[in-house]
Amino acid sequence: MKKQFLIIPLILCALIVSCANPTQEKQLTEVSSLVAKRDSLEKVYEVNRFDSLNYWRQEASNIEIAIKRHYVASKVDTKLSVKMNRFKSMQEIIDAESELGGGEEHEEEGKEMTIGRRMMLLNTQFKKVKTSLESLESDISHQLIEPSKVEKYLEMEKTKVNRIENQLNQYLFVKNVELKEYTRLCRQLRVFADSISK
């Protein structure tokens, strides 16, 4: 008879735990999905990392100095003028000045950013989101968060991962479209600068 009294509470505990587990499993699955998406975005970023930023900064400065020093014309060359204006307007893509100072990601999103600032922001966000997802996963596994609050935290993490995705898409556009045009212009102006320096 005593054994039956011990078995009934054990069965009740097992039922309570098994009822709680599907919700917990679902939440952990959502976290795993966010981790997978974040990791996938980081892999895309790593493949598309722009490593020659300092080279193009220096090259742009050298081109500008060479043209200012050696270009003498009796009349305005409109084609060159258009190229130089475009070149100057695109320098904000790599300009170091706007990369000074701090700021949170919500402050940065509204500003026109250099490619270096975009890279720094992505690096920071990938680390922060990795840490917060690991923490959330651990808290859910150990039931350290009230079940009513877990959904709120999951939504916050989804928002962070979506923000990274948007930032990555903006970075890829700048790198693959604007920066490509900028480096093409630099090469053309380098040829011109070398020709007038001789």
pLDDT of residue 153: 96
Contact of 136 with 157, CB cutoff 8 Å: yes
Please indicate, yes or no, if residue 164 is contained in any of the structural domains. yes
189 vs 18, higher pLDDT: 189
pLDDT-derived band at 111 (thresholds 50, 70, 90) equals low
Please indicate, yes or no, if residue 117 is contained in any of the structural domains. yes
Please indicate, yes or no, if residue 92 is contained in any of the structural domains. yes
pLDDT of residue 11: 53
Please indicate, yes or no, if residue 121 is contained in any of the structural domains. yes
Instruction: Give me the residue label for tokens 């480096």.
Output: 183
Residue 52, exposed/middle/buried by CB under 10 A (0-12, 13-18, 19+)?
A: exposed
What total number of domains does the chain contain? 1
Contact of 67 with 84, CB cutoff 8 Å: yes
pLDDT at 8 over 70: no
pLDDT of residue 51: 87
pTM for this model (two decimals): 0.77
Mean pLDDT of 73-95: 86
Ranking 91-100, 114-123, 188-197 by mean pLDDT, the lowest is 91-100
Could you say which DSSP state residue 142 is in?
T
Could you say which DSSP state residue 143 is in?
T
pLDDT-derived band at 148 (thresholds 50, 70, 90) equals confident
Distance CA 160, CA 178 (A): 26
Which alpha helices (DSSP H) does 48-177 contain, by range? 53-70, 78-90, 105-108, 115-141, 147-173
pLDDT tens-digit series, residues 20-42: 578 899 999 999 999 999 999 99
Alpha carbon distances (Å) from 25 to 34, 55, 77, 141:
14, 49, 69, 9
Please indicate, yes or no, if residue 182 is contained in any of the structural domains. yes
Distance CA 100, CA 197 (A): 34
Please indicate, yes or no, if residue 17 is contained in any of the structural domains. no
Please indicate, yes or no, if residue 162 is contained in any of the structural domains. yes
Ranking 9-23, 116-130, 155-169 by mean pLDDT, the lowest is 9-23
Phi then psi for 112, rounded to 5 degrees?
A: -80, 120
What is the three-state SS of 12-50? HHHHHHHHHHHHHHHHHHHHHHHHHHHHHHHHHHHHCCC
| pLDDT more than 90, % of the chain | 61
Please indicate, yes or no, if residue 3 is contained in any of the structural domains. no
Write out the residue range of the structural domain in which residue 104 sits.
Answer: 24-197
pLDDT at 100 over 50: no
pLDDT tens-digit series, residues 156-197: 999 999 999 999 999 999 999 999 999 999 999 999 999 998
